[in-house]
Amino acid sequence: MVVANRKMHGSIPANQLFLRELLAQTRDFKNADYVVCVPHPYLYQVQAMLSGSHIAWGDQHMSRFTLGAHTGSVSASMLLEFGCQYTIIGHSERRAWGYETDITSAQRYETAIRAGLKPIYCVGDTRDEYMAGETHKVTYKQLSAIVEHVGVEGLAKGVLAYEPVWAIGTGQAATPEHVQSILGYLRSQIAALDAKLGAEIRILYGGSVNAKNVLQLFCMPDVDGALVGAASLNKEQFIAICKAANEATDDRCALLVADD
Ligand code: PGA
């Protein structure tokens, strides 16, 4: 699975060029799911251009409330009207500004799944937490907030993304080995709650994924895909990442190991 997190980027003409090219160049990629998450004003355009295609779309921050006096907010039912299937929840950029906590993330997550949207729930450690050896503790706490709120059944309705804060937007992705160790850890914690979900839940990695490092990441056994920020703003890079997802078969990955 490849998810573009376009953050606060784009314009109507630039989106049009990007989406047109993405549609044309990924038409034959059948081995992965592709999702584009855009700012709210562009959802109408994305729906118009991607409806009926192999590419799904979503937003990056929906309200935890269903409706009412919440100036500036966008509800799950509004996202559904624009054909969204996904919503990003708990991104570290929102957590860092204090707009998002484990509790508000869990409430948002519940609102999303009740509406039938698939949350892409982000967990991740800061550099200080990483240096202090607290990655497991921090990511487990963030994951537990969801499980405590919506149970294992709720967790099963979303996608998990490990995004170390120190790797986001820095050009310094975590090593494939580090990513594998954390995703393997998270999967084992989920498996301890529900073995089937542990095996089936999709866990993505995000943080400076680019066309060069992506295949090695995808070939790690517990990596099910990528959440891509900066590289999703460049259509050639992003299409190359989509291509890697399509080609990261067991045979291709075995060749990669042989190349090493
Ligand atoms: P990046 O962002 O790919 O630019 O590091 C990833 C993200 O924040 O989701």
Position 259 pLDDT exceeds 70? no
Contacts of 212 by beta carbon, 8 Å cutoff, 6+ apart: none
pLDDT for position 250 = 83
Pocket of ligand 1 (CB under 6 A): 5, 163, 168-169, 206-209, 227-231
Please identify, by atom number, the ligand 1 atom nearest to the C-alpha of residue 173. 5
Whole-angstrom CA distances from 202 to 120, 172, 198, 236 are: 10, 23, 9, 25
Q: Are 22 and 71 in contact (CB under 8 A)?
A: no
> Model pTM?
0.97
What would the pLDDT profile of 20-78 be if each residue is shown by its tens digit? 999 999 999 999 999 999 999 999 999 999 999 999 999 999 999 999 999 999 999 99
Among 86, 100, 228, 237, say which to mutate for ligand 1: greatest number of ligand atoms within 8 Å of CB: 228
One-letter amino acid at 192 equals A
Say how far apart CA 76 and CA 201 lie, in whole Å.
Answer: 23
pLDDT for position 98 = 78
Tell me which residues are annotated as active site: 91, 163
Q: Are 70 and 78 in contact (CB under 8 A)?
A: no
For atom 3 of ligand 1, the residue with the nearest CA is: 229
Structure tokens at 232: 């999703």
